[in-house]
Amino acid sequence: MSPARLVVLASGGGRTLENLQQRIVDGRLDARIVLVVVPRADLGAAERAQRLGLSLLVIGKRNQPDPERRERLLLQAVLEARPDWVVLAGWLSLFAIPPQLEGRVLNIHPALLPDFGGKGYYGRRVHEAVASSGLAYSGCTVHFADAAYDRGPVVLQSAVLLAMEDDADAIAAKVFAAEIEAFPEALAHLIAGRAQWVDGAVRWTA
């Protein structure tokens, strides 16, 4: 069986992208990243994709200011890559999922959804909100993406304990350490068919 084809949409530094590629190179993830899309050429994710020798496209507000054309070009590029899975690795825009990709788009959120999720909750904003809450735990959530921010069915979650003195930066470091394991683990389960999207929910098999 051929490795699963991944398209990665990344808006940040690209650490998640590089982590997935490292798992692939190490043989721990039966996949191949066939395309990386970033909204700006000056992002760390673009530099990492180039350094890793991955196919890269830049589609964003700067080079495609018309939103309808931008969305059309993005969907065209993703579909032409024939992905088995689309991975949102810090992608900050709401990805308009076409019917043929329903149940095949994954996102990772840096908190335990449904807490601290939804529009406007991303990156450091999430960790600042967790720090202000006084909770003794946080974590990450791998979930299927759908038509709303952070609302799709959950594949898996990984919790981390927090110390009273943890600020947003300390929380971010702990959560990202969990993300490094959680995202490839979720992908591996899905690629192997142990977890599946069925009628808008996640079904696990033995």
164's tokens: 């009273």
Give tens-digit pLDDT for 18-45: 999 999 999 999 999 999 999 999 999 9
pTM of the model: 0.94
As a whole number of angstroms, the distance between CA 74 and CA 76 comes to 5
What stretches in the chain show pLDDT beneath 70? none
* Domains identified in the chain and CATH numbers: 1-101 (3.40.50.170), 108-140+154-206 (3.40.50.170)
Helix (H) or strand (E) holding 38: strand 31-38
pLDDT at 10: 96
Q: Looking at 109, 127, 143, 189, which residue is catalytic? A: 109
- 3-state SS assignment for residue 112: coil
Helices of type H across 64-167: 67-80, 124-133
| pLDDT of amino acid 119 | 86
**The pLDDT of residue 130:** 97
**Catalytic status, residue 109:** yes
